[in-house]
Structures are given as structure tokens and as C-alpha cells.
Amino acid sequence: MDRETITSQKVLERILFDESAEPKALPLSLLAHITSNFSDDKEIGCGGFARVYRGMLDSGTVAVKKLHDLVDMDEKKFSEEIHCLMKAKHKNIVRFLGYCSDTQGEMVVCEGKLVLADVRQRLLCFEYLPKGSLDKQITDT
């Protein structure tokens, strides 16, 4: 684990345990590390817009929501979503801990040619609730 990932993990752990701490930008390397590179065995949910993974920290667990690549959301809309999540604070709402918006160049085949394309990844990090989603709690009772 590199220095940035170690430092970021400590910041995330501090946010997790300090309810007054504000959500922060998190590096993709940290979110990949704590989810074992988004491995299938860490997946805890999947929907039309994202997959959710269990992220393991040294002192706790978080939920990492990785938006699907096909979700058409420009930077402005993603920023607005983050802003709304940062303002939403209530005992009955899962705590928002951080976010990641990462764009990297990647060689892909387009019309039979290799081209350098921007590959965007957007992720949201929340506190982990071990009992699952509200709809599961309601339907199981």
C-alpha cells in the first residue's frame, strides 16, 4: 500500500468514527484497496446505477458505491449529488463519508482502431449497515 493510500485510509477511519467530520475526496487507490479491487466476494448489492462493495478498514467497515460506467452524469450533476449528500445529516439517513471522481486515459478499440479514451470512475462512500437495506428490513418482518 502506498503512502497516499495509507494516509487516506487514516482520514477515512477518522471520518467514520467522528460524526462531526465532513466527507472528503478519496483516492481511487484507497477505495480499490479496501474492496480488494472491487472483487465479487466484496459485492453486497447491485442496482440499475451502481454496484455496492464492502470496504474493510483496519478499524471498521464502509460501503463503497461504484457507479456504472454507462451512467450518463456530467461533472456538474455529480458535484450537485455530492453537495446534496453532504447536507443530508439525520439519524435515520446513512452517513455519507466521501467520494471519488477519477478519470484516466485507457486504450480501447473504437471502430476497429486503438484510441486513447478517458475512462471515468465515480464512487461514493457511506457508513456500512450490517443489517442491510431498509426495504429488506421491512419485507422480512
DSSP states of 60-81 as a string? EEEEEEEE-TT----HHHHHHH
Does the annotation list 66 as a binding residue? Answer: yes
d(CA 115, CA 124): 29
Structural contact between residues 38 and 52, judged by C-beta atoms closer than 8 angstroms: no
Q: Where are the alpha helices (DSSP H) in 1-141?
A: 3-17, 28-34, 75-87, 134-139
Helices H, strands E: what count in the chain? 4, 6
**Cell digits of residue 131:** 443489517
Closest CA to 123 of 55, 40, 61: 55
Binding-site positions for ATP: 66
Binding-site positions: 66
